[in-house]
Amino acid sequence: MSFKRLFTTEAVKGTKNYLDSQHKYEWIRTVIYFAISLALFAAGFLTTGTRNNLLTIVAVLGCLPASKSFVEAVIYTRYHSLSGEYADIIEEHSQGLYCLYDLVFTSRDKTYPVSHLVIRGNTIVGFMPDERLSETDCIKHLDGCLKIDNFKDVSIKLFGDVQKYAGRLEQLKALAEDASLSRNIGNTLKSISL
């Protein structure tokens, strides 16, 4: 368990099992924040004998970040990491490729959980197993976000079938790699995901 991870996710976002582990950190942070507010309120009440004191104000203000953390914990609880059966198939075919796991993209209308993404130069392919979501809407959203960051002519394809996705991963290995472009696109995608 990393103390730093309670406050920043930069180092682990996009890694395998990110969502399943992050929701635990979110709940721990939420409990800590509420405990601090409760402790401040109790300390003020015990020292003055009344709730009308400065520590009560600080405790109430401390509930703001605690409530924000609670909302984030609930959001992370809704989404889960890539299941083991899919992960084994995908890992077998994604050796040597720049991969991102467990990304959840939010637009004004919908939320798009993408379980796995591979970036090879200006080509992005992803695995989105939830059949209820529109792959084309997610592609439009991602394309728009990438264009804002000046990534033009990026090809994006999302798959719902793991076997078709695995086949496309094998094809990607033959493409020329621009590692810096892949990392820059990956950093943009990580920054706009949950």
Convert the pLDDT of each residue in 54-81 to its tens digit.
Answer: 999 999 999 999 999 999 999 999 988 8
Phi and psi, residue 100, nearest 5°: -130, 135
Q: How far apart are CA 114 and CA 116, in angstroms?
A: 6
Task: Note the pLDDT of residue 59.
Answer: 94
Task: Note the pLDDT of residue 34.
Answer: 97
Task: Note the pLDDT of residue 56.
Answer: 93
Dihedral (C-alpha) 40, 44, 47, 53: value to the nearest 10 degrees?
A: 160
Task: Note the pLDDT of residue 107.
Answer: 86
What residues in the chain have per-residue pLDDT under 50?
none
H helix or E strand, kind and range, residue 106: strand 98-106
Task: Note the pLDDT of residue 13.
Answer: 86
Q: How far apart are CA 159 and CA 135, in angstroms?
A: 8
Task: Note the pLDDT of residue 1.
Answer: 66
What 3-state DSSP class applies to 159?
strand
In DSSP terms, 56 is beta-bridged to none
